Structure 1
Amino acid sequence: MTVGLKRQLGIISAISYVTGGIIGGGIFVSPSSVLSGAGASVGLSLCVWVFCGFISYCGALSYAELGTRIKKSGGSYTYVRAAFGDMAGFTVLWAQLFVVRPLAAVLGSLVTAEYIMRPFYLECPGLAPKSAKVLLATAILAFIVACNCYSVRVGAGIQTVSAVCKVSALIVIIAAGVYHLIQGHNENFRDPFVISNLNPGDFTMALYAGLYAYVGWDHINNAVEEIIQPQRTMPIAILGGLAIPTVCYITANIAYHAVMTNQEILSGVAVAVVFGERMLGPLKWAMVPCIGMSAAGIANVIIFTSSRLNFVGGRDNVFPRFLGMVNAESRTPMPTVLLVFAFSLVVVSLGDVKSIIGTYSFVRALPEAVAIIGILRLRRKFPDTHEVYKVPLVFPIIFVVFFMALSVTAIAYQPAKFLVPLAIVFLAVPAYLISVSDWWRKGPSISFNATMVTICRRLLLCQLAEAPQNLM
């Protein structure tokens, strides 16, 4: 018996996934990295936030077209494969499985752990034990994985609550900052473009930190098959879901700089805790769980979308077939959810938020840029209909040119940091050639898939999913 995914996500849930996927750890940890990379210039750091929002809109508008032109789950993988073939699609899946998604899930859980522990080490954040952060982050990941295995609706509910907590926390921060400014405390904005030290390598990291905060505008593209009326819901969810965090980020950073000095912002990643100490009095203790839930929502989005990405790869026989299975009762792709969890457990031991942000942003943007490059080819392959949103070409061009320039600069100034994950990504080429060889397909592949399918059927009560028809 074969089963498939069910359309259960409406406009509110879709916007919640986009907004919730964007607003999370980034706005609460990136300000210190952005300010540091911008030479401790308040004015330049605010310009970075505005510019990163604009670049994200260029990518989001491009993905709105891709999502309505190809109404099939899988996000970047589906678009790259449709434009450039199976090997390119496999490379995207490989990068997502081994690098991008585990890093993203771990970042969300580590930021949550950071904020939970920071109040106990407020005066000396460097003394917070790394092992405790890792264990707490692992427990958070395990809880999120269990929820996503149990029900799509439970995961969506968590995301909606998370989105409310995130926006509420930001509203409090913004309101407190505006109140502080109204009282005449604008001394931190005097001489905003005075730069202490600026070089291309550090400024590149500032841009990557800013882009990390906006990550998530493409999450809903990974679950198109579960969205009700995707041709209407997709553009609204992407554009509306991105508008909320863009406004929040710019005003929140103004609030941060209004209340805190540069030294306080640069003191650690948990800037909102320091902000609460300065401005919120007893209310600061309510901010910690809100921000923790905010960052945990990022991990929830990643687990949800990653599992759908690998599920589509398994269903399409690009990845092992057992990954294309869903639980017969909950209709969740349980094998892929557990696989993402397994790889995340390997990465979580790194335990350092700042060291992960740049690498994650760099590798994550690669398949997005390739997918956007393929828009012209996909327009010829899948002609326009009344259901397709068509983006003006200037936005894809801006996104791709910016990505290429930023990548070249990053590799030139910090080759060790960025060439290693890039090499892992390109290991996908020999892996793909092995996977399509007669030796693999006629021998090990058959026995391995048969064994895993049997295990998933008996232990996880899963069945092979069938591909929907006429989605492209």
Structure 2
Amino acid sequence: MQLLRGLGFFHVNMFLFSATIGTGIFVSPKGVLKYCSLNIPIFLSIWAGCGLLSMMNAVCLAEIAATYPVSGASYYFLKRALGSSVAFLSIWIKIFACTLGISAQCLLIASSLIQCFYSECQAPELPKKCLALAILWSFGILSARGIKPVAWFNTISSLMKLSVLCLISLTGIVLLVIGKKENVSRFEKALEAELPNVSQIAEAILQVYYAYLGSSFLIVIAGEIKRPAETIPKSIIYGLSVVTVLYLLTNVSFLAVLTSEEIISSDSVAVTWMNRVFPSMQWIISLLISAFLFGSVSCGIVSASRIFYATSQEGQFPFIYSMLNDLHSPVVADLQAVILSSVGIISSNMIYLIKYVGLGTWCLNLLNMIGLLKLRYQNPDLPRPYKVRLPFVFGSIASSLFLILTPVIQSPSTEHVYQVVFLFCGLLCYWLQAYLNRHGVCFNRITCYWQLLFNVSPSEHPEKLIPSLNPN
């Protein structure tokens, strides 16, 4: 039993679009423009630069996935490069980021759908949470059916997302070409704005990166991709290039229709843009926002379940998470991801904890790059079907250090203390699970009962599936 390698180049690109394109492009322009001091050239440059930076980081991670083509490749790699404690810390960060992100997305979908029935007041919390739970568990059932149904669903979702962004982009271009003079005048006066300082640029980059968060999703599902050494780097370069161009054109369209002050004062720039260009279309706007999030939720559940799956195979989580059903899906890991996300929906205040994961995410990217360099030095003869150039690795390290240190040095706050405490709690949990593993013989019988209940079988250890470790 093992996860099926059933995803070709087309489906991998659709997964990348679905995981990357989300509400970030609708929400982030507000904060980015604010931190750019309304400077439009800097604003657009940061969007383009972050697209290139995210591509650089993802290409560096692609070497890890090509060398260790298993699901949860980053965790598998970190455990061998930097040790079990660092690998567990990466899982600690990813689980919080995934499950709280899924909860927030499900609540946003439910809110945008229900709000249509409450045009004159705020929608009540109970029906919103019930609908969010129904959406979450529906995607959990879909994920338990295997990777192929999820791939086809994300293909439809991705095509819808691309169509919406193309519509917004083309509308903006048309308004600039044949529109009123006021649409063009905002760009003519762009160079008159003041320049932001270094701290503001760092904050703006962090805001933009929210819109590119899914760019490393393919590394999580490397064990289910055909010819990962060829497919992953090619998909990252082509896919993220398309996303970067669409994000730039979408922001140009926002600026062509709305003033900088209107963008900053808007809760959702896309909704304000739609109301200006296509008034009286609230239903369509709600459906479009929901469509943008549906694919992101399904990718989040797949990502979280593969994290549980990989950690279980390495013995740091219960063995039951790495068992597969007859559809080759880690159904117990899917269930665990859905349960944790359900807790986030029910206790919606927990979603605010996601802001404390930001520092950890960049620390994790830094650790991946350090581990990559260490592995290059210690195991130079290790077969690497895809090998990234060292300047990209050093560039990724420099960008991670810049985004970690600049906000802390320029504007220290208690939030940074909470982020450090969050990371320290991960180490405490690592020591706790290590103790339980040494005294966990009594859990074997419980695992057998769970195995019978879910009709699942143990999967092969990833080392048997990696060609570089099995030359014969």
Would the TM-score normalized by the shorter structure come out above 0.5? yes
Question: Quick check: 1:407 aligned with 2:366?
Answer: no
State the match for 1:166 in structure 2. 161
Deviates more, 1:381-390 or 1:288-297: 381-390
CA–CA separation in structure 2 for the residues paired with 1:18 and 1:242: 8
In structure 1, give the amino acid aligned to 2:265. Answer: S
Residue equivalent to 1:330: 327
Does structure 2 conserve the Cα–Cα contact (< 8 Å) formed by 1:80 and 1:367? no
1:141 maps to which of 116, 136, 143: 136
* Contact 2:362/2:403, CA 8 A, preserved across alignment: no
Which one of the candidate residues 204, 228, 240 is aligned to 1:242? 240
Shift of 1:249: 0.6
The answer for the alignment partner of 1:394 in structure 2 is: 391
C-alpha contact 2:140 2:335 (8 A) present in aligned 1: yes
Distance 1:336 1:29 in 2: 31
Aligned pair 1:441/2:449, yes or no?
Answer: no
Shift of 1:258: 0.7
Distance change >3 Å, CA 268–CA 330, structure 1 → 2: farther
Alignment of 1:364 with 2:358, yes or no, is no
- Measured against aligned partners, the alpha-carbon deviations of 1:20-74 in whole angstroms (never above 9, x if no partner) come to 1111121122111212222233332222211211210210120122211222221
The structural deviation recorded for 1:250 is: 0.8
Partner residue in 1 for 2:458 = 464
5+ unaligned residues in a row in structure 2: which ranges?
none
Gaps of 5+ in 1: none
Match of 1:105 in 2: 102
| Aligned-residue identity in percent | 26
Question: Could you say if the C-alpha distance between residues 16 and 384 of structure 1 is closer, same or farther in structure 2, counting changes exceeding 3 Å?
Answer: farther
Distance change (3 Å), C-alpha of 1:245 and 1:383: same
Q: Secondary structure at the match of 1:218?
A: helix
Answer yes or no: is the 8 Å Cα contact 2:97–2:354 preserved in 1.
no
Map 1:107-256 onto structure 2 (within 5 A). 107-116=104-113, 127=122, 133-182=128-177, 183-184=179-180, 185-193=183-191, 195=193, 203-256=201-254
Distance 2:381 2:130 in 1: 50
Partner SS, residue 186 of structure 1:
helix
Give the drift of 1:198.
5.3
Provide the C-alpha distance between the structure 1 equivalents of 2:460 and 2:330, rounded to a whole number of angstroms: 12
Question: In the superposition, relative to structure 1, how do residues 50 and 449 fare at CA in structure 2: closer, same or farther (>3 Å)?
Answer: farther
The change in CA–CA distance for 1:133 and 1:212 in structure 2 (over 3 A counts) is: farther
Asked if the contact 1:87–1:432 (Cα under 8 Å) also holds between the matched residues in 2, the reply is yes
Deviation at 1:161, TM superposition (A): 1.0
Q: Secondary structure at the match of 1:40?
A: coil
Measured at CA, do residues 77 and 193 of structure 1 come closer, stay the same or move farther in structure 2, by a change above 3 Å?
Answer: farther
Give the superposition deviation at 1:415: 3.1
2:448 to 454, 459, 469: 454
8 A Cα contact 1:104 1:360, kept in partner = no
What is the distance in 2 between the residues matched to 1:349 and 1:267? 30
Q: Residue 387 of structure 2: SS of its match in structure 1?
A: coil
Q: How big is the shift at 1:456?
A: 2.6
Structure-1 residue corresponding to 2:18: 20
Pair 1:27–1:360, CA change in 2 (3 A): farther
Give the direction of change, closer, same or farther, for the CA distance of 1:120–1:187 in structure 2 (3 Å limit): farther
Q: Secondary structure at the match of 2:265?
A: coil
Q: Tell me, yes or no, if the aligned pair for 1:315 and 1:321 is still in contact at 8 Å.
A: yes
Residue 178 and residue 64 in structure 1: after superposition, are their counterparts in 2 closer, same or farther (change >3 A)?
A: same
Corresponding position of 2:40: 42
Greater mean alpha carbon deviation, residues 30-39 or residues 195-204:
195-204
Which deviates more, 168-177 or 54-63? 54-63
1:202 offset after TM fit, Å?
5.1
130-139 vs 336-345, which moves further:
130-139
Give CA deviations for 1:171-228 in whole Å, capped at 9, x if unaligned.
0000111111112421332432555795666544322120010111211111122111
Residue type of the alignment partner of 2:13: I
Q: CA distance change for structure 1 residues 308 and 175 in 2, over 3 Å: closer, same or farther?
A: same
- 1:46 partner amino acid: L
User: Does the 8 A contact of 2:105 with 2:293 survive in 1?
Assistant: yes
Instruction: Specify whether residues 36 and 17 from structure 1 end up closer, same or farther in structure 2 by C-alpha distance, changes over 3 A only.
Output: same
CA distance in 2, matches of 1:202, 1:107: 26
Rounded Cα–Cα distance in structure 2 between residues aligned with 1:252 and 1:268? 16
Whole-Å separation in 1 of the counterparts to 2:354 and 2:39? 21
The alpha-carbon distance between structure 1 residues 285 and 193, as it changes in their structure 2 partners (threshold 3 A), is farther
- Distance, in Å, in 2 between the alignment partners of 1:139 and 1:249 is 31
Per-residue deviation, 1:288: 3.6
SS in 2 for 1:9: coil
Moved more, 228-237 or 193-202: 193-202
Asked if residue 84 in structure 1 is aligned to residue 78 in structure 2, the reply is no
**Residue 102 (structure 1) shift:** 1.6
Give TM-score scaled by structure 2 length: 0.89
The verdict on how the C-alpha distance between 1:425 and 1:216 changes in structure 2, with shifts beyond 3 A counting, is same
Q: 2:255 aligns with which of 257, 260, 265?
A: 257
Residue aligning to 1:296: 294
The 1:316–1:192 alpha-carbon spacing in structure 2 relative to 1, beyond 3 Å, is same
More moved, 227-236 vs 252-261: 227-236
1:54-69 equivalent positions in 2, closer than 5 A: 54-69=52-67
For the pair 1:342 / 2:343, whether they are aligned, the reply is no
Superposed displacement of residue 454, structure 1: 2.9
Number of corresponding residues:
462
- What amino acid does structure 2 have at the position aligned with 1:466? E
| Matching residue's letter, 2:400 | F
Q: Is the 8 A contact 1:322 1:449 kept in 2?
A: no
Q: State the distance in 1 between where 2:290 and 2:266 align.
A: 16
How far does residue 436 in structure 1 lie from its aligned partner after superposition? 3.0
Instruction: Report deviation, 1:131.
Output: 5.6
The verdict on how the C-alpha distance between 1:133 and 1:208 changes in structure 2, with shifts beyond 3 A counting, is farther
Q: In 2, are the aligned partners of 1:211 and 1:361 still within 8 Å (CA)?
A: no
CA distance in structure 2 between the partners assigned to 1:231 and 1:31 by the alignment:
35
- Deviation, 1:142, is 2.1
- Equivalent positions of 1:271-290 (< 5 A) are 271-281=269-279, 285-290=283-288
Q: CA deviation at 1:259?
A: 0.8
Q: In the alignment, residue 462 of structure 1 is paired with which amino acid?
A: V
1:273-299: per-residue Cα shift (whole Å, max 9, x none)? 221121135777445423312222112
Q: Partner letter of residue 145 of structure 1?
A: G
Q: How many Å separate the matches in 2 of 1:142 and 1:73? A: 23
Aligned-pair Cα RMSD in Å:
2.8
Closer/same/farther in 2, CA of residues 425 and 59 from structure 1, 3 Å limit: same
